[in-house]
Amino acid sequence: MPNDDTCLVANDNECDDGGQGYMFSLCACGTDLTDCGTRTSTAAGTGDCIETAPANTDYCGIADGECDDGGVGSQYAMCRCGSDLTDCGTRTAASYSTDDCVPLAVPNIDVLGTCGFNLADGFCDDGGADSEFSFCPCGSDTTDCGVRTATANATGDCVLEEAKPCFARTTTACRLVDTAASASAAFGACFGAGDVTTPAVAERVSMASLVAGDLVLSSPHATTRVLVNQHRAVVRAAPMVTISHATGTLTLTPDHMLLVDGTYQPARNAKPGSRLEGLPASIVAAVAATNEAIVSPLTRSSTILAAGREGGAVVASCFPEWVAPLVVDSRAFPLPFALSTAAAHLFPAAVQAFYDDALEPLLDASVVPGLERLNAALPTPLALGVMACADVLMVAGLAAWSALSVKIAVAAASVAAVAKASRRARKA
């Protein structure tokens, strides 16, 4: 265990590392030292890095007469088991997912209140086996998904589909300090093959620190520009896999595309013995499930050289399984020549601010699910047309947002000037 405060939400008076006594599981165990204390375990999932028994508190904050903790007798699964004491009563389970903390049973009905507009729309939206999307609790979209045979969520055919494709925030990349430096020199500086006595030409940084305009390694032999870094301004966690390979580790969501055995495949396809592309190529030793906070930089080349906090790096795509075939090495939709790519090159700071302020909530709430849905339903030529239209709309949105921001700044400056003049007048 690292036993440090490298968790993005460390030192906030809430233990976020998922180990004993935690309130949230947003970070790797041992990375929220101030709030959680020293971890004595030697590896995640062992010792005091194992999830603990329910706390039996009202930390959920929803004392509304309905049990929301997802355990036996609950109406909803909005909180961790044992965190809605007033409505659910004391939980006696020794650990999560045991005894009276087994997940909420599958209803096998069409539940309008939880599945909303996604109900009975021709797509299975409950996140279980063979579903297209994960918008609803498993068993709440029976018309589209059929009857689930699982007795509880996260079991049987209600094992949830993967979350949004992202890297863990603790994943590192190689950012060039000297943009004139060669890719090989940057690779040496970041991953240990360079002369440490020379001025640094590149630095190994957390992916969460990347912003639009940064120059990073896309492979051991090439560089690329960051177009935008998604989720850098928010903290969300998602189920992930940690792939341990011969030269290091990499943690990312299971549907994130990775160069495995010479082709781009979902990370979930990596198995012991699989080959990951790096310098040198690295053989997978083990794959383990975990839960980490997310971040997702997009680059001009569609790829990025990714690594754990230590060890070697491997080549990964920046895209999820559903969209990667349309943009990675695609001549039909050449990302390097898209309008949004040009905007990110010319106005990187504005593009990053526009994404953080305006696009982050919009894309997560509606646009990305809609594009994913269209991609599943449309033939490739039409799906590419939709992406091209989305590209134009995003650039138009950037222009409108920038113009509005300028007006607001001018108005604020005018108000400040009037206030200052008024104070001077009163003094005179």
As a three-state string, the secondary structure of the chain is CCCCCCCCCCCCCCCCECCCCCCCECCCCCCCHHHHCCCCCCCCCCHHHCCCCCCCCCCCCCCCCCCCECCCCCCCECCCCCCCHHHHCCCCCCCCCCHHHCCCCCCCCECHHHHHHHCCCCCCCECCCCCCCECCCCCCEHHHHCCCCCCCCCCHHHCCCCCCCCEECCCEEEEECCCCCCHHHHHHHHHCCCCCCCCCCEEEEEHHHCCCCCEEEEECCEEEEEEEEECCCCCCEEEEEEEEECCEEEEECCCEEEEECCEEEEHHHCCCCCEECECCCEEEEEEEEEEEEEEEEEECCCEEEEECCCECEEEEEEEECCCHHHHCCCCCCCHHHCHHHHHHHHCHHHHHHHHHHHHHHHHHHHHHHHHHHHHHHCCHHHHHHHHHHHHHHHHHHHHHHHHHHHHHHHHHHHHHHHHHHHHHHHHC
Distance CA 7, CA 169 (A): 8
From CA 222, how far away is CA 207, in angstroms rounded? 18
What's residue 261's pLDDT? 92
27 contact partners, CB below 8 Å, separation of at least 6: 6, 7, 8, 9, 10, 16, 17, 18, 169, 170, 292, 293
Residue 195: the pLDDT is 46
Q: What pLDDT, on a 0 to 100 scale, did the predictor assign at position 426?
A: 47
- Contacts with 25 (C-beta within 8 Å, 6 or more apart), sequence order: 16, 17, 18, 51, 237, 291
- The pLDDT of residue 167 is 92
Q: How far is CA 23 from CA 32, 34, 82, 225, in A?
A: 12, 14, 11, 37
Residues of the chain within CATH 2.170.16.10 domain(s) are 167-322
| Beta bridge partners of residue 176, listed in sequence order | 202
Name the β-bridge partners of 25: 17
State how far Cα 379 lies from the chain centre. Answer: 28
The reported pLDDT for the residue numbered 121 is: 74
The C-alpha atoms of residue 45 and residue 47 are separated, in whole angstroms, by: 7
* CA 319 to chain CA centroid, nearest Å: 11
**Which residue's entry shows tokens 């040198």?**
280
Cα separation, 131 vs 296, in Å, equals 24
From CA 118, how far away is CA 121, in angstroms rounded? 6
The angle formed by the CA atoms of residues 200, 204 and 209, to the nearest 5 degrees, is: 120
Are 290 and 250 in contact, with CB atoms under 8 Å apart?
no
List, in order, residues 6 or more apart from 333 with CB less than 8 Å away: 326, 327, 384, 387, 388
- Answer whether 226's CB lies under 8 Å from 267's CB: no
- Write out the chain's pLDDT in tens, 428 residues: 578 887 766 777 777 776 777 666 556 778 888 988 888 875 555 667 765 566 687 766 667 787 877 677 776 655 667 878 898 888 887 666 667 776 666 777 676 545 555 567 777 777 677 666 655 667 777 888 888 877 565 566 765 544 456 898 889 999 999 999 999 999 999 987 544 445 689 999 999 899 999 999 999 999 999 999 988 877 666 778 899 999 999 999 888 888 899 988 888 889 999 999 988 899 999 988 777 778 999 998 889 999 998 899 999 998 877 666 666 655 545 556 678 888 888 899 999 988 888 877 666 544 555 556 555 666 666 766 767 777 788 888 888 888 776 554 554 455 445 444 554 554 45
Are the C-beta atoms of 282 and 245 separated by less than 8 Å?
yes
What local confidence, expressed as pLDDT, does residue 163 receive?
Answer: 46
> Which of 166, 209, 213 has the alpha carbon at shortest distance from 364?
166
**pLDDT for the residue numbered 330:** 53
- pLDDT at residue number 297: 94
Please, what CATH class does the domain formed by 167-322 belong to? mainly beta
